[in-house]
Structure 1
């Protein structure tokens, strides 16, 4: 009889599975990646995978939730290193430009997930909407601190830059969006 799986082993298995699934989903798309490919990439048997996540949909939601925490955490860490509230708003676009330049950048994981299965998966749609609300709220906090009457233009420029960069493979959308936000902010 095999030894029982410890809590630590369960945590490690879960992280390995999420790492493998996130990389594959982001690189190839959710529907193009089968569970056998995730099994091979994670090194976990299918039985173990399905004990951790009962369905592929559950795995997709978990990947998006974890990515949200990491993505928005990285953004916040970058932006909050800047002292001036006005410059913090602009730092959003500097961070986006760095992200767009990363090898393997394929646009927004949540937009990609929504485009693939958001219409047919209520849990995935809910997670996409949750991420977008949280990202909006982050930007709203920084925009409000900078004295902007509305965060909507900044949010929409950020979202547009992400989509444009994902399609074009170019970092220029972040630079263009930043210049527009700088105009909106006016002179210090």
Structure 2
């Protein structure tokens, strides 16, 4: 999927599956994946464990669905912010950080769900389906930054996009760690400085 069409298409869910996913999403994010069992999820969703397994197959698949649907919501939110700044340039790149500021305040007080899931599962679970899902989400965001930097006329769009990605990822980890207040605002200010110092000087 091209970064310019940022919202992935997901299969529709039955009402029962929606209840399971809503409950799992809240519990996984608030408590962690390992701390929440399928019994707790089923009880919170008001369904049986059989319904949970019938709809998702396994806890691992439910975790992937949780990450996919959360990512889809984020991309809708991001697309709305990008639509407000249609012209290529500094402000359109910074719109990603503006979207993150608004999103983290309301939806991500504990940081990035994908990073948290990847860290919690750890390296001792080779082949876990969460790993490629997290990689897909992060690769997509890097591609979006690359597209925005290319459109803006960056002298080295590859380097600039990776720099923007590092600022973004550093900020979202800092949100979860609560190291200091408003890390995305700090990242945004640094991003502006770097963009305005680009030798191409083609940013608006």
> TM-score over 0.5 for the alignment?
yes
The root-mean-square deviation of aligned C-alpha atoms, in Å, is 1.9
**TM-score, scaled relative to structure 2:** 0.81
CA contact (8 A) 1:72 1:135 kept: no
CA offsets per residue over residues 63-85 of structure 1, 9 Å max, x none? Answer: 11111222122112212221332
* 3-state secondary structure, aligned to 1:122: coil
Match of 1:68 among 55, 71, 79: 71
Could you tell me how far apart the structure 2 residues matched to 1:168 and 1:180 are? 19
* Partner residue in 1 for 2:84: 81
TM-score (normalizing by structure 1): 0.88
Q: Are residues 182 and 134 of structure 1, via their aligned partners in 2, closer, same or farther at CA, if it must alter by over 3 Å? A: same
Higher helix share: 1
Q: Which residue of 2 aligns with 1:113?
A: 117
Q: 1:167 aligns with which of 137, 155, 177?
A: 177
Q: Secondary structure at the match of 1:31?
A: coil
Cα deviation, 1:17-76, whole Å, max 9, x if unaligned, reads 111111100000000001111011111111111101221001101111111222122112
> Which one is further off, 48-57 or 119-128?
119-128
User: Does the CA contact (< 8 Å) of 1:64 and 1:109 recur in 2?
Assistant: yes
How far is 1:152 from its partner? 0.6
> Across the two proteins, how many residue pairs are aligned to each other?
180
Map of 2:149 onto structure 1: 143
Query: Following TM superposition, by how much is the alpha carbon of 1:94 offset from its aligned partner in structure 2, in angstroms?
Result: 1.3
Change (3 A) 1:112 1:89: same
Secondary structure of 2:14's counterpart equals helix
Q: Which residue of structure 1 lines up, in the alignment, with residue 8 of structure 2? A: none
Unaligned runs of 5+ in 1: 1-8
Hey, what does 2:137 align to over in structure 1?
Answer: 131
Distance 2:62 2:13 in 1: 15
Among 167, 177, 181, which residue is 2:187 paired with?
Answer: 177
8 A Cα contact 1:79 1:92, kept in partner:
yes
